[in-house]
Structure 1
Amino acid sequence: MARKWKAVVIGAGGSQAQAMLRALARGGATQSWLAIDRAWRPETKDAAEAMGFVIQQMDALADPGQLDELLSHTDLVVNMAGPYYRTGTAILDRAIANRTNYLDISDDADVTIPMLTRNAAAEAAGISALIGMGSSPGTTNILIRAAVDKLGPADDVDIYWTVDLADMTNAAVRHFWHCFNLVDPDGSTHDVAGWDQLEFRDIDFPDPVGRQRLVRLAHPEPITVPRYLPVKRASNFGGLNPEEALITGWCLAHIADERRTKGKLTDAAVDLFLHYRDQRAGAARIGSGLVIDIHTNGNGLRFASGSDGGMDDSTGIPAAVGAILLMQGRIDRKGVFPPEIVSPKDFFSVLRDVSVGGGGLTLSTLANGMAGERMRIRDLLA
């Protein structure tokens, strides 16, 4: 018997979830979708209803029985409620128990392996669970796959990103700090390191972003890329701009490290950081940037982008693409898996239908670590 809902979105009132809903509406995929949030703001509730989504206020995580009832009536659950090191396995386990397909935008490295260990249970339940289907991870993994599909095996993948301080929401701050807890390939986690123990790189991003200082951070791609693609090593370096925001962010992350303080200082530290952000509200915006090098000894391919846009669309739109591909049956693999298994050709095909356009992503050859001849991304998909 057909289930009542095609999909249920948990945490639908968040900024990145709202961007996903807008993308789904552009693609005409709103019918029989239920959007729930524990505390809707009037403006986001009105916007979601205007797009054609059914709205409900509910704390889906407060009552496991209520969550089971919800998932038993839907084909797909989209988990947009972080932090994923708290919600990821909790909702995934209930999705498996109710034979409901699953998607999230998890960017927490420490929960990646625990979620992947549910693969056999998800396979047995006959469901598809796509984790980390946002911008990074998400689009990054798919671009890397497109590159190695063209190049063949590569020794290294280096991912570099920077985010404008103005885009740091409460949830984004908590995730950024969590990334300072480095995660080993086997899943072991570490305390936030002291300043002298951090590993830095200075990276040139396309305009308008320019040169930015980054630090090695925990992210899912260094765990999943070598597991699912013919790549030996992957690294992730990220940061906030301007540089003083990176320094301030590390300082408070170090003071409030949840591994050491058991979360006792986190809320107060987040409030202090957001106060710092708001005090700089009139400062010039730098924007966000991404560089991905796929190479062996510095020779390979480079993706690069720079934008004055925010994180919401860049994360929410890929999630919409992943949801559409799951519902269309174009992702038919069963189990739990990261975005590396998504066909780049299918991804970009749906992306054209739901994107706002633009983005400014470029592709070039990489020779001795330097960008060379420009290429067309569509040539990778031929």
Structure 2
Amino acid sequence: MEKSYLDMELLRFTTAGSVDDGKSTLIGRLLFDSKSIFEDQLDHVASSSKKRGLEHTDLALLTDGLKDEREQGITIDVAYRYFATPKRKFIIADTPGHIQYTRNMVTGASTANLALILIDARKGIVEQTCRHSFIASLLQIPHIVVCVNKMDLVDHSEEAFEKIKSDYKDFAAKLDVKDIRFIPISALNGDNVVNRSENMPWYEGATLLNTLETIHIASDYNHIDGRFPVQTVLRPKSDKYHDYRGYAGRIAGGIFKKGDEVTVLPSGFTSKVKQIHLMEEEIEEAFAPMSVAMTLEDDIDLGRGDMIVKTGNQPNVSQDVDVMLCWFSPQGPQVRSKYTLMHASNEVKAMVKNIHYKLDINTLHKEESYDKITLNDIIKVSLRTTKPIMNDSYRKNRSTGALILVDEATNETVAAGMIV
């Protein structure tokens, strides 16, 4: 049983939506109805609900773990929960809905295979719906499931559901998402979450859990383009590894085999893979996202921040990159602003060369004229670095296409970026 559990497919998904759309309640309901909650957890939540004067058990408290969240009834931090069914394992990132915590949503969604976008059936599409949907598109999340929640508050109306579905499709036509599904639910009562709703016989689609169990999961990793960012050089001081000079890191893309012709960037020297070690064991090949140590047939001087790639398949090597940024700081960037740029295992100084536009989240209009850039804005910029970085577009490789900007004075992470 343990081996079959370890071999099960894993689906990572994130929840998103506006404040009070019911994200935490939905996750609580999903955990409760799939019998993934321990009795002591349920007793604790029931006790907390009673203290708050509620007549029912507030399942949202299962994910709202911070004291401030319980007091305010909102999600602030990203709450991760794990559960499994006989068909799949799941990691849930329950992300904040409030606009000031959008940066937490970016963090939670960055590794997701699927995004659950919640919409209040009474309110329809709001700004945060658009913002979170665009971020999901920007992060190349392949599947979006739109859950129209609180259907019990609109008398389980098919007309209300179809109106939201139509409005969302009109907006989503501008997004880069291929698979969008719609499910009418009531997280509070459990309609169409795990069990099919008797109140909405007009809905003939799958329940949420059935969708999560059966949706196709493609690999997150690019297994075509060989990318091995070097994190450190290994020179053990022992007789066993007397002349050993290994390069350790996590493979960011492709498959590496003994004897492969490789190029070291940015120097451009070429060699062949001599050995690949996984812990103490020598292996014949390695692929993303394995962490390994690699030796080369030639003695080449390289260190942290360099990259070993396949000779016939190389990334962009440039000091100029165009990036879509999710801005995390109240203080916006200016042309010639300087930051520390962290990319793969590389850390370099970078300057904002040009700010192309700010995106209007509601219309997806590119505003070339704007008043200022501040917290949660999404912008496109050109950056110039002090030394070349080896990169691919984010669409091609999530690992070598992502970066963050750090304020040199405060060490605050001010932006997360996707290379275009």
Q: Give TM-score, length-normalised by structure 2.
A: 0.25
| Structure with the higher strand share, 1 or 2 | 2
TM-score of the pair, normalised by structure 1: 0.27
Larger radius of gyration: 2
Normalized per residue, the structure richer in helix is 1
